[in-house]
Structure 1
Amino acid sequence: MTIDMSQFFQVFFDEAEELLAEKEKLLLGVDISSPDPEDLNAIFRAAHSIKGGASTFGLTDMTEVTHILESLLDKIRKGEMHLTAEHVDAFLAAKDILKMQLDGHRLGAVVDLDAVGDVRMLLQSFVQDEIAPKAAPAISLAPIGNASESNEKYQYCFRVSFKDVRPSDLGVLNSELGLLGKAHSEKSPQGQDSIVLQTNGSEDDIFAVCSFIVDADKMEIAREEVPADSGSQKSLSEDELGYGFFEPIESMFPPLEGKDVSATTKPEVEDLGAPDLSGKNGKSAPKKEVEKHAGNQESTTIRVGIEKVDQIINLIGELVITQAMLTQRTQDLDPVSNERLLSSVAHLTRNTRDLQEAVMSIRMMPMDYVFSRFPRMVRDLANKLGKKVEFVTYGASTELDKGLIERIVDPLTHLVRNSIDHGIEMPSTRLESGKSEAGKLSLSAVHQGGNIVIEVSDDGGGLNRERILSKAKQNGLTVSDSMSDSDVWQLIFAPGFSTAEVVTDVSGRGVGMDVVKRNITQMGGVVDIRSAKGFGTTITISLPLTLAILDGMSIKVGEEIYILPLGFVVESLQPEREDIKEIKGKGRVIKIRQEYLPLIPLFETFNILPKHTDPSDGITVIVEVDGKKAALFVDDLVGQQQVVVKNIESNYRKIPGISGATILGDGGVSFILDVAALLRSVK
């Protein structure tokens, strides 16, 4: 039988990427002066897991980097070497190299071999003490780790015997168990392949390591006397054990019963103290109990392709449309004679809404997926600019649709870079103004109704009103000194606008902020700026939680029904005739509470024969986008409903003023209005 290995490679790629992200997060948060032993162990485990997976699949380039990285991390976590800022920089550089190599194997991306060689040499120089950190006092860690270079005394000695194990697997088992103490392989008195392990760990630790390579019923653990020379016996090296050279099918993928194959490659090994060795003849705990324990572990996640999720969402959308059709068809039925039918339809409506919400939640991802990308970028950029920045996040668990999450990364990247470059001052400048040396940059996300509000905030110098107005005049923009601050701040979103005096590779080329606003508007969102000179700037982005289904107001113009996204609606009213004013050659405006708003007759926009031509006979809907308001003149309001968004461009072409379409309960097609485009059309 031919086994499709591509699926297993994909699992490794996904898990390796998760481990690299976790490793970077730990490195950025580590306290260099007093590192947490658990953090050091976690970083080591991430490197070791990547090394094991890369060896399994024969990815020797990644194995070579992680082997050196693992050796260096092992010295640091044992207290044989001080952790320094240079170490952290080197580890982060190694993470970048491993990510590049991973993309090379997964996507065929180009790998810079010179950069790989430089990082390997840098790591090797640390290992060989060419850059000589002074020896530190030993840090008390859990008994995980290869102690072949240590003179530590061990309390326990176990013989782990195996049935029908391959020589290559035995070598890997020896290497893995060596992380718990000192291990060497030999034949048991019964002639079985076995490994003798001296350790301070427990029997459960041994089982946790071995169960990833052999089945529980093919191994036995027995206690032996601790040798007198414990602590001085030399363990075999990984080269002598042939580490990494083993067959890639059965040994790579042990039986999956009771294992979570969607998370990390290995669980954290917990120090459970001294083992209970009351079994007869020193044998290990009964295998049935061990197998039962393993079998009771349930998988909590499953990997599913996004295309399958999208397919389910599309089907749910069709179900929502069908349910709306049934509801509309039954509206005219006699409620007495058709009570059971109407009750069933109402029940279907409730279940359809619950099912829709449950399925939509599958596409929702935490904002941490986005936020986790920035600590490294902030650190590197601040160092490059000679600034000190404290980066904090709030609401990382707040969820947003996957499609929107992927599209919000670039706009947020622009905003974060600009906050560091333009917003936060140099340390000396901050001290002169009575601030702390380190500027504060925060990212936050919170749900508000059907939207998510994301804020990028800094405590820097704030926007310079005079400089912005001066630059706007140079660019030929229509401005005045009497403009409100909020209108002045919006000028920075104009194409090609930049107040930077020096063009650098960080910012100052006049691109970015206009792209930010355009991308956010295309996602149905709005962006706003608040700033105070000397106190900082906050940029707020408001986005719908999902693009697949939206709450809309049905409006009627002539015989046509349009969907107006509810998020843009402020209010609706029937205006008085005296509130409508004509501006010669410019169109009409409507007076709403001492404010004049442009009036947009939709029948003129879409060339439709209307029911009413006088706004005082129809309905006016006030909408707002980016702080700008306008009044849409329509014939009637039909109602409010959730609609399934269908793409127009992929099936027809771009229509001005239209962002999409939906299918109504009667089977007819209704266009969804592009409110931002309608307001831009107002001169």
Structure 2
Amino acid sequence: MSMDLQRFHATYFEESREGLDAMEAGLLALEGGSLDPEVVNSVFRAAHSIKGGAATFGFDKMASLTHVLETLLDEIRAGKRALAASALDAMLGSVDVLRALLAEAEQGKPADPAAVAAVHARLEQELGGSGESKAAAAAGPEPEGWNIAFAPAPSLFMSGNDPLRILRELEHLGTLEVDARFERLPTFAQLDPLEACIAWDLGLRGKVPRSAIDDVFAWVVDDCELDIQPQPAAAAAAVATAPVVAATPAAAQAAVPVAGQPAAEAESSIRVSVDKVDALINLVGELVITQAMLKQVSGGLDPGLAERLTAGLELLERNTRDLQEAVIGVRMLPVDAVFRRFPRLVRDLSARLGKQVRLRTVGEGTELDKGLIEKIADPLVHLVRNSIDHGLEAPEARRAAGKDETGTITLAASHQGGHIVIEVADDGRGLNRDKILAKAAERGLAIPDNPSDAQVWDLIFQPGFSTADQVTDLSGRGVGMDVVRRNIQALGGEVQLESGEGRGTRVVIRLPLTLAILDGMVVSTGGEILILPLNHVLEALQPQAEDIRTVAGDGRVLRVRGEYLPLLSLAGHYAFGAGGRESLVVVVEGDGQKLALQVEELVGQQQVVVKNLERNYRRVPGISGATILGDGRVALIVDVGGLVRLRQQLPQAA
């Protein structure tokens, strides 16, 4: 009976990506001077796991490359060869090629055959052509053979392992005698092809190190009953002609898990498709809407008659919020999932540019929605590349400026209010204000009179803007910071830039914790309901007529405790027909700037489910999405950062 192994491909691909990340992190730690033997072992285990799965699924190029890599790692961890810099380079190169081969197996995108052959040759060169024999050489006297009792747990297949692959690996070590045991095999009617039911008695003849056998079984030790014993010399001599003696009934009985008792400790985590989690989040969102509808309907009932109903609805509201937070928590991942790709990027790019760079990471455990993590990676890569290429000086320039020759790139993440804040900072030369202004004038960009530093730095985000003196494959083409800002804004986030000449540059990105649900202030104006994201709201007030002024070139402003804020009528901005009665103001902050928004009424605070307006209708400037209210009406969610940017771009009334 054949088994369709393709159903296990997705799990193998995901685990292999994780394994390659672990290999890269381990190799970089070794290059950084780590002396922990467990680091080498972790890299070896990752390579061994990838090789085993590749052989099982027929990904021959991956299996061949990881076999050589595994052999080299085995010699290093056994102390048979020193860890040379050239070997580390070769192994890091193999990680890149394995990622390409993984993409080829998963997506059909062909890997560069020349790169595969070159890395393979480099690894073989490191082995010196004799690595295979040295890896198999015994460190001391070994038995003449081994008796192995192997009883897989019924769930072995579900972990992506296959007993036949294990037997094939053992055959490479020596002469193998195989006897199958069928005492656990059910009747045909009860047979489940996804359960492993056959146990094995194996005889392995030859002076094989015990460690080599342990490596073969390394990834199934928690999913099987395993007994490995050295063979007596006489038995080893006869193993080629006589079958291995079957295990005693007691041993066979011990190999079978007792009914009701798990073969191994239960897994502490499970893999779930993201689509299933998204569907669950969507259902919780609908539950939030239903709960809001019930609360609104109950508001019109007699309080005395509906006391128990009201109490039940309050409990439902608390439980719904707890459920929503728990479900969203399933999608939350530590930002380290993004940060851990940067040590390799910094290493390769600094070597390429002849600069000395250390990477410092802070707050790697800060959690962010998985959807945001996947989309924030590319902007962060661009910012780090910019910091190394443009921000940090060459060692001799830093030395002349009285700085440490090694520059520092800092990646930091933290929670602040309802946002996650990610910072990319360097201690390099900083931005040159005069150079930026000259480039802006050369390109005909609008420059305010006596611009502040913040206004000058903002010019960098203009499309096509670049201060690079020459075009390279890293920079100078004017494609970059505008794309970074656009991508971050598409995620509902903001990006700010701070710099001091000679002191470095700091880019601050603020993102919502999740894209699914937000706490909002519900306001009405012009006969319409709008939602202001609560994490942008600073205060609400009723202004006096004398506090509102009109400033030439800056439109209307509102004085709030001595500070003048731009004043914007929401009804007027969105062209609601029934405006003009806006007596209240909500002060909000977006992109680091405050804005006073005129509204008619503050309806209250409410948790709302964000619906994508662009996907269901079209993109509307100044609107980030929509939601469904308890009475079934659709309310628009105000894009506070978008309003700030829109006001900066438009000419103001005199």
What is the CA–CA distance in structure 2 between the aligned matches of 1:221 and 1:585, rounded to whole Å?
A: 85
Note the alpha carbon deviations across 1:174-229, whole angstroms, 9 max, x for none: 55xx6xxxx653589x996423587886999699549569953xx654455589xx
1:30 match: secondary structure: helix
Number of matched residues?
611
Corresponding residue of 1:631: 596
Is the 2:5–2:57 Cα contact (8 Å) retained in structure 1? no
Unpaired segments of 5 or more residues in structure 2?
A: 153-161, 182-199, 241-246
Deviation of the 1:481 alpha carbon: 7.7
One-letter code aligned to 2:136: S
Deviation of the 1:589 alpha carbon: 2.6
Corresponding residue of 2:169: 172
Are 1:529 and 2:520 an aligned pair? no
Corresponding residue of 1:252: none
> What TM-score results when the alignment is normalised by the length of structure 1?
0.81
One-letter code aligned to 2:643: L
Note the alpha carbon deviations across 1:395-427, whole angstroms, 9 max, x for none: 111111111111111111111001101111111
Is the 1:222–1:282 Cα contact (8 Å) retained in structure 2? no
Corresponding residue of 1:241: none
Cα distance, 1:80–1:476 mapped onto 2, change above 3 Å: same
Deviation of the 1:635 alpha carbon: 0.8
Corresponding residue of 1:243: none
Equivalences for residues 45-194 of structure 1 within 5 A: 45-128=45-128, 148-154=136-142, 158-161=146-149, 170-175=167-172, 184-186=175-177, 193-194=202-203
1:383 match: secondary structure: helix
Is the 2:423–2:509 Cα contact (8 Å) retained in structure 1? yes
2:204 is matched with which residue: 195, 209, 229?
A: 195
Is the 1:169–1:213 Cα contact (8 Å) retained in structure 2? no
Are 1:511 and 2:476 an aligned pair? no
Deviation of the 1:485 alpha carbon: 2.4
Deviation of the 1:470 alpha carbon: 2.3
One-letter code aligned to 1:671: L
Equivalences for residues 28-43 of structure 1 within 5 A: 28-31=28-31, 35-43=35-43
- Identical counterparts, % of pairs: 48
Deviation of the 1:455 alpha carbon: 0.7
What is the CA–CA distance in structure 1 between the aligned matches of 2:346 and 2:144, rounded to whole Å?
A: 47
1:479 is matched with which residue: 429, 444, 447?
A: 447
Corresponding residue of 2:584: 619
Corresponding residue of 1:256: none
Deviation of the 1:31 alpha carbon: 4.1
Deviation of the 1:432 alpha carbon: 1.8
Larger mean CA deviation between 37-46 and 453-462 belongs to 37-46
What is the CA–CA distance in structure 2 between the aligned matches of 1:320 and 1:159, rounded to whole Å?
A: 61
What is the CA–CA distance in structure 2 between the aligned matches of 1:653 and 1:637, rounded to whole Å?
A: 27
Are 1:326 and 2:294 an aligned pair? yes
1:15 match: secondary structure: helix
Cα distance, 1:417–1:621 mapped onto 2, change above 3 Å: same
What is the CA–CA distance in structure 1 between the aligned matches of 2:421 and 2:163, rounded to whole Å?
A: 56
Cα distance, 1:149–1:649 mapped onto 2, change above 3 Å: same
One-letter code aligned to 1:640: Q
What is the CA–CA distance in structure 2 between the aligned matches of 1:89 and 1:659, rounded to whole Å?
A: 46
Deviation of the 1:678 alpha carbon: 2.6
Larger mean CA deviation between 413-422 and 112-121 belongs to 112-121
> What TM-score results when the alignment is normalised by the length of structure 2?
0.85
Is the 1:557–1:611 Cα contact (8 Å) retained in structure 2? yes
Deviation of the 1:541 alpha carbon: 0.8
The alignment's C-alpha RMSD in Å is 3.6
One-letter code aligned to 2:594: K
Cα distance, 1:168–1:116 mapped onto 2, change above 3 Å: closer
1:362 match: secondary structure: helix
1:643 is matched with which residue: 590, 608, 626?
A: 608
One-letter code aligned to 2:321: R
1:304 is matched with which residue: 252, 267, 272?
A: 272
Q: Compare the two structures and name the one with the higher helix fraction.
A: 2
Note the alpha carbon deviations across 1:277-306, whole angstroms, 9 max, x for none: xx9999899546899996241112222221
What is the CA–CA distance in structure 1 between the aligned matches of 2:62 and 2:212, rounded to whole Å?
A: 32
1:343 is matched with which residue: 311, 318, 321?
A: 311
Is the 1:550–1:645 Cα contact (8 Å) retained in structure 2? yes
2:372 is matched with which residue: 389, 404, 416?
A: 404
Is the 1:531–1:537 Cα contact (8 Å) retained in structure 2? yes
Cα distance, 1:316–1:431 mapped onto 2, change above 3 Å: same
1:44 match: secondary structure: helix
1:650 match: secondary structure: helix
Is the 1:220–1:284 Cα contact (8 Å) retained in structure 2? no
1:382 is matched with which residue: 338, 345, 350?
A: 350
Cα distance, 1:69–1:220 mapped onto 2, change above 3 Å: closer
Deviation of the 1:58 alpha carbon: 1.3
Deviation of the 1:4 alpha carbon: 4.1
Cα distance, 1:129–1:390 mapped onto 2, change above 3 Å: farther
1:681 match: secondary structure: helix
One-letter code aligned to 2:176: S
What is the CA–CA distance in structure 2 between the aligned matches of 1:289 and 1:3, rounded to whole Å?
A: 24
Is the 1:156–1:200 Cα contact (8 Å) retained in structure 2? no
What is the CA–CA distance in structure 2 between the aligned matches of 1:34 and 1:153, rounded to whole Å?
A: 32
Cα distance, 1:74–1:222 mapped onto 2, change above 3 Å: closer
What is the CA–CA distance in structure 2 between the aligned matches of 1:496 and 1:209, rounded to whole Å?
A: 53
Note the alpha carbon deviations across 1:119-154, whole angstroms, 9 max, x for none: 111211111269x9xxxxxxxxxxxx9952234235
What is the CA–CA distance in structure 2 between the aligned matches of 1:516 and 1:226, rounded to whole Å?
A: 69
One-letter code aligned to 1:488: V
Cα distance, 1:587–1:214 mapped onto 2, change above 3 Å: closer
Cα distance, 1:185–1:290 mapped onto 2, change above 3 Å: farther
Is the 2:176–2:203 Cα contact (8 Å) retained in structure 1? yes
Cα distance, 1:637–1:192 mapped onto 2, change above 3 Å: closer
Is the 1:319–1:352 Cα contact (8 Å) retained in structure 2? yes
Deviation of the 1:655 alpha carbon: 2.5
Cα distance, 1:184–1:37 mapped onto 2, change above 3 Å: farther
Cα distance, 1:113–1:413 mapped onto 2, change above 3 Å: same
Deviation of the 1:99 alpha carbon: 1.0
Are 1:422 and 2:390 an aligned pair? yes
